[in-house]
Amino acid sequence: MKMNKSNCEKAEMLVEVLPYVNRFRDKIIVIKYGGNAMINEDLKKAVMQDLLLMKSVGMHPILVHGGGPAINDMLKKLKVESHFEQGLRVTDKETMEIVEMVLAGKVNKDIVGTLNQIGGKGIGLSGKDGNLIQARKKYLEKNGEKIDIGYVGEVEAVNKEMLESLIYSGYIPVISSIGMGKDGMSYNINADYVAGAVAKAVQANKFILLTDVEGIFRDYHDKDSLISRITLEEIEALEADGIISGGMVPKVDCCIDALKGGVAGAHIIDGRLRHSILLEVFFDEGIGTMIDRDKEGVLE
């Protein structure tokens, strides 16, 4: 019988990923989903396929998402103006209602619908469901004074028992970055920080952030300066030196917090690549930047 070279190559690839399937079976992997991978329908479907494949081979993915562009579009349609302080949206009660409607009502259900359409068991959650994300009000400081920016929050606690119950029952949790305060009000929380807090709470083996860049660079203008692997101590030094800046700061901060909280490894990868999650999880080379706790590497 004539052998098909393409099929042989596919078989070899399956053999290559087998050690990683065995290594991460029964392990929890938290993915922060955002950027172009949420907007581009082709990339969106690829992410859902990645999650389904991971679940099918015994891993336990948890997806956390934001939805800034969708929020901006809805605020524009409703002619609600946005004001920002230190890069954060000042969120009054009206704006918070719109944010919650968009994140928990539209974006979250669109993701769950796509995942379930291809055969997954996605379940959509906001932080208000089962007290999943308990929030506290966030304040800013300017010239020594406290600034009230409305219903913007920080993660105070995560209901890990709820998440563990869902993942071990075969579900893939899809979490929108809304928390609930002790006052019963909803709070909008940066999705990077929510994802990091979730990863820490469930002691994830991997914490993956999908971004619109290739990873962390020593010099963003030099594409040859991509850092493929770095320790926790080294990344803190880069941040202190100002090499980590702009939108990468919250991503690095939540990785640092997660690693210090017991998460085994953090990865900042390019979500603009199809199946970037699988490339990171199943292949030696990986993509993007991997942050280890120490020079000994990731604890698995």
Helix (H, G, I), strand (E, B) or coil at 68: helix
Residue 38 domain flag: yes
- CA atoms of 78 and 194, how far apart (whole Å): 27
- CA atoms of 90 and 92, how far apart (whole Å): 7
Residue 32, amino acid: K
Residue 297 domain flag: no
Domain interval for residue 125: 29-292
What are 98-135's pLDDT values in tens digits? 999 999 999 999 999 999 999 999 999 999 999 999 99
* Alpha-carbon torsion, ordered 91, 92, 98, 104, to 10 deg: 60
Residue 299: predicted pLDDT:
39
**Residue 68 annotated as binding site:** yes
pLDDT surpasses 80 at 15: no
**pLDDT average, residue stretch 253-270:** 92
Residue 150 domain flag: yes
**Residue 25 annotated as binding site:** no
Residue 198: predicted pLDDT:
97
Question: For the stretch 268-295, what's the b/e string if a residue is b when 16 or more beta carbons lie within 10 angstroms of its beta carbon?
Answer: bbbbbbbebbbbbbbeeebbbbbbbbee
What are 200-219's pLDDT values in tens digits? 999 999 999 998 888 888 88
Structure-token pair, residue 199:
């990863």
Count of the separate structural domains present in the chain? 1
Please report, for the domain that includes residue 40, its CATH number.
3.40.1160.10
Residue 235 domain flag: yes
CA-based max dimension of the chain: 78
pLDDT surpasses 60 at 3: no
Residue 4 domain flag: no
Element (H, E) at 197: helix 191-201
Bin 58: left if φ > 0, else alpha if -120 < ψ < 50, else beta.
left
Residue 17 domain flag: no
- CA atoms of 163 and 157, how far apart (whole Å): 13
Residue 224 domain flag: yes
Burial of 164 (C-beta count, 10 Å sphere; 0-12/13-18/19+): middle
What are 60-101's pLDDT values in tens digits? 999 999 988 899 899 999 999 888 887 788 899 999 999 999
**Residue 122 annotated as binding site:** no
Predicted TM-score (pTM) of the model is 0.90
Residue 193 domain flag: yes
Structure-token pair, residue 257:
């917090």
**Residue 72 annotated as binding site:** no
Beta strands in the chain (DSSP E): 28-33, 60-65, 84-85, 88-89, 122-125, 133-142, 145-158, 172-176, 178-180, 186-188, 206-211, 216-217, 226-227, 229-231, 265-270, 289-292
Helix (H, G, I), strand (E, B) or coil at 213: coil
